[in-house]
Amino acid sequence: MEFRDLKRQYQVLKLDIDEAIQSVLSSGSFIMGKQVVELEEKLAEYVGVKHCVSCANGTDALVLALKVLGIGEGDVVFVPDFTFFASAEAVSVVGAVPVFVDVDSETFNLDTKDLEEKINYVKALGSYNLKAIMAVDLFGLPAMYDEICSIAKINGLYVVEDAAQGFGGRIGDRKACSFGDISTTSFFPAKPLGCYGDGGALFTNNTAWAEKAMSYRMHGKGESKYDNVTIGMNSRLDALQAAVLQVKLNAFIQNELEAVNNVAKMYMEELQHCVHIPRVPNNFYSSWAQFTITLEDEKLRDSLQLFLKNKGVPTAVYYPKPLSSQPVYAQMSLPSTSTPVANDLCKRVLSLPMHPYLTEQEVQFICSSIKEWKTTML
Ligand SMILES: *Cc1c(COP(=O)(O)O)cnc(C)c1O
């Protein structure tokens, strides 16, 4: 059994993917081009925003978003302490300061009450420009955008949505990648919509920002490629990746998103009386980048992980350390923040195999193994 079985997905989509790749090879055009423009149009339409600007990976998408918003030296961006490193790294790359905010223990996303407290705290320090909230749609679940956007509005902050794991999620009928002033995603192979290498994109309804992003991703180009009006990056999507993504987007829309939700439903039903299962708030829909359970403490988490490993069930700990404890941030003198929930979760979380091609028998086996472990613990 695999944690995320990309080989099975390829076997199912092989004919279409091989054909898409062949057509790029025959075209002889590899960077940007027709496939990329088509993909951007399809993604913007699916998400329901005016513009999608693709780029080289999800981290660059965040950097591009922050650059477009003019965020840099002396600016503060509020970032959840429980997420992948890149959410904060992008803030540091543009020279701004990440201030870490605690998360909710059941949704794993930004705790909006703590967000307000951290905002007031940094305001009182007086020495920073408060610029943006980076909300992360962790494990596929959109963050609490109604609350986050109203906090942003009151405080004059931008919202950047890091939907690297969130593509396909929804609140009501509004889709992930549409909640931020600028939203971003990643096409890293293991993300909900993944390609066969690195890839990413940003989304916005603001035409001037989309144009800026298109310039930044291509060395700050002006009228033409050899007219450079600003310091940009080299961050473009390959035609091969765009061709693969067009095939995978179809499969994602037609059945994969539903399939992961069926797997999640089985996990929930089987495990609800056995371990802490993740909470999906009313009216929210997750794209299940991860299915993450929570154990009572670190010892039990590690014990279950070992038990499952011996049964041939791979699991992962996302994340073993809060960002504020990463060596690079621990040694910086950032505005001090306490994030007890994030620290606690790192000791207790365990992510189970999750992908659209898991069979019912496999999910049953995983769940019965967890139940068996539980009886050995009593
Ligand atoms: C994966 C990820 C990123 C970075 O995406 P890459 O394509 O790997 O650069 C950023 N934020 C979060 C939350 C992620 O999970």
Is the CB of residue 54 below 6 angstroms from any atom belonging to ligand 1? no
Phi, psi dihedrals of residue 319, rounded to the nearest 5°: -125, 145
Residue minimizing CA distance to atom 2 of ligand 1:
164
Nearest-angstrom CA–CA distance, 293 and 277: 5
| Domain residue extents for the chain | 6-248, 255-377
Contact between 82 and 322 under an 8 Å Cβ cutoff? The reply is yes
SS3 41: helix
Best residue among 4, 55, 87, 160 to mutate for probing ligand 1, ranked by most atoms within 8 Å of CB: 87
**d(CA 181, ligand 1 centre) in Å:** 18
Q: Which CATH number fits domain 255-377: 3.20.20.70, 3.40.47.10, 3.90.1150.10, 1.10.101.10?
A: 3.90.1150.10
Q: What is the pLDDT along the chain (378 residues), one digit of tens a residue?
A: 999 999 999 999 999 999 999 999 999 999 988 999 999 999 999 999 999 999 999 999 999 999 999 999 999 999 999 999 999 999 999 999 999 999 999 999 999 999 999 999 999 999 999 999 999 999 999 999 999 999 999 999 999 999 999 999 999 999 999 999 999 999 999 999 999 999 999 999 999 999 999 999 999 999 988 999 999 999 999 999 999 999 999 999 999 999 999 999 999 999 999 999 999 999 999 999 999 999 999 999 999 999 999 999 999 999 999 999 999 999 998 887 799 999 999 999 999 999 999 999 999 999 999 999 999 987
CATH of domain 6-248: 3.40.640.10
Nearest-angstrom CA–CA distance, 304 and 260: 23
What is the pTM assigned to this prediction? 0.97
Torsion of CA 233, 234, 237, 239, to 10 degrees: 150
Residue minimizing CA distance to atom 7 of ligand 1:
58
| Assigned token pair, 210 | 């989309």
Nearest-angstrom CA–CA distance, 319 and 208: 36
Phi, psi dihedrals of residue 285, rounded to the nearest 5°: -135, 130
Is the CB of residue 58 below 6 angstroms from any atom belonging to ligand 1? yes
Torsion of CA 283, 286, 287, 292, to 10 degrees: -170
